[in-house]
Amino acid sequence: MPCQESDRPRCSRRRLLSWSLVAGCGLLAGRVGAASAAATAARQLEFHCLHTGDTVSAVYWEGGRYVADGLATIDHVLRDFRTGDVHPIDPYLLDLVHRLQLTMGCDGPVHVISGYRSPKTNAMLAQRSGKVAKNSYHVKGMAIDLRLPGRRLEDVRDMAMRLGGGGVGFYPDSQFVHMDTGPVRAW
């Protein structure tokens, strides 16, 4: 199934998704104290964009709020690499990726195949391949195609699905997992 989506507005309730999810799986299993520490610690992400070669690291959440400079840095590295267009990336998507790394015990760079896609780029890709949705969440800054170095793609997919924060697509031929902040679904 391609990256399909509805026009349903984003569900703000999910932004409040409990950090107990983190406590429930992976490294922090059963450690309530560690989970509460994770809930207040600064959230930092490092992205390496495979198409541009750019690598950036940014703190995007700290002291109970999102950090504008950090978000802007990440928006830029996740830009449409074909056109250079920059678009705000959904902070909740960053939280999902952050949780994915945390629960898998990764602290290295997230390798990015695709982040934001301009309408022009998406239309071109959709014309080329039936696997690209015409109204992809990539166009809204709500999706990312990624892999985690040193982690099996199947394990990344399984953990992304376990987080239950949105859509998860498995693309073994292209060696990436798609994550988005649309409705929970998998393909």
Task: Point out which residues bind Zn ion (CB under 5 A).
Answer: 143, 145, 178
Pairing of strands 65-66, 110-114: unpaired
Give 140 or 178: the residue with its C-beta nearer to Zn ion. Answer: 178
Give 35 or 95: the residue with its C-beta nearer to Zn ion. Answer: 95
Query: What's the closest the beta carbon of residue 150 comes to Zn ion, in angstroms?
Result: 22
Distance between first and last Cα of the chain: 6
Question: How many contiguous H segments (helices) and E segments (strands) does the chain have?
Answer: 6, 8
Give 67 or 178: the residue with its C-beta nearer to Zn ion. Answer: 178
Query: What's the closest the beta carbon of residue 143 comes to Zn ion, in angstroms?
Result: 5
Query: What's the closest the beta carbon of residue 95 comes to Zn ion, in angstroms?
Result: 18
Instruction: Output the DSSP codes for 118-174.
Output: -HHHHHHHHHH-TTS-TT-GGGGT-EEEEE-TTS-HHHHHHHHHHHTSSEEEEETTT
Query: What's the closest the beta carbon of residue 156 comes to Zn ion, in angstroms?
Result: 13
Task: Using the Cα atoms of residue 28, residue 20, residue 163 and residue 97 in order, give the sign of their dihedral.
Answer: negative
